[in-house]
Amino acid sequence: MSYQFYRILHVAAIILLFTSLGTLAALAGAREARLRRIAAVAHGLALTVVLVAGFGLLARLGMFGAIPNWAWLKLGIWLALALVVLPLKRAPQWAPWLWALLPVAGTAAAWLAITKPF
């Protein structure tokens, strides 16, 4: 698979990831919500594809052998975006704060890939 293919796959999965996280944040604490199940499945699927395409990109860039520090940091952001569903479920009163932090985390991940600062 080509570099361009992995780029589009990575970005498409990121769009799905933030769509699903926005939905899960908006529905935090709601008792009955039809969209929650779809958003939860989409969240898992998007995380998987972001990761696979991310490593595909690293391989195409010849960085798979020695993964650079910015990519490790992106893995940390990826993990945070995976685990954020736990406080959304158990502490829905934090949902507005977590919702506000989502674009900050996404922007940080984009910045790391685009500038590769370290």
Query: Minimum distance between the CB of residue 22 and ligand HEM, rounded to whole angstroms?
Result: 13
Nearest 5°: the CA angle 38, 41, 44 is 150
Indicate whether 110 belongs to the interface with ligand HEM (CB under 6 A).
Answer: yes
Is residue 83 packed enough to be buried (19+ CB in 10 Å), middle (13-18) or exposed (0-12)?
A: exposed
Residue 14 or 95 with smaller CB distance to ligand HEM: 14
Indicate whether 85 belongs to the interface with ligand HEM (CB under 6 A).
Answer: no
How many whole angstroms from its chain centre is CA 82?
Answer: 7
DSSP designation for 65 = S
Task: Please state, in angstroms and rounded to a whole number, the distance separating the CA atoms of residues 15 and 98.
Answer: 18
Query: Minimum distance between the CB of residue 40 and ligand HEM, rounded to whole angstroms?
Result: 16
Q: Which of residues 9-48 bind ligand HEM (CB under 6 A)?
A: 10-11, 14, 17
Amino acid at 63: M
The footprint of ligand HEM (CB under 6 A) covers: 7, 10-11, 14, 17, 50-51, 54-55, 57-58, 61, 71, 74-75, 77-78, 81, 106, 109-110, 113-114
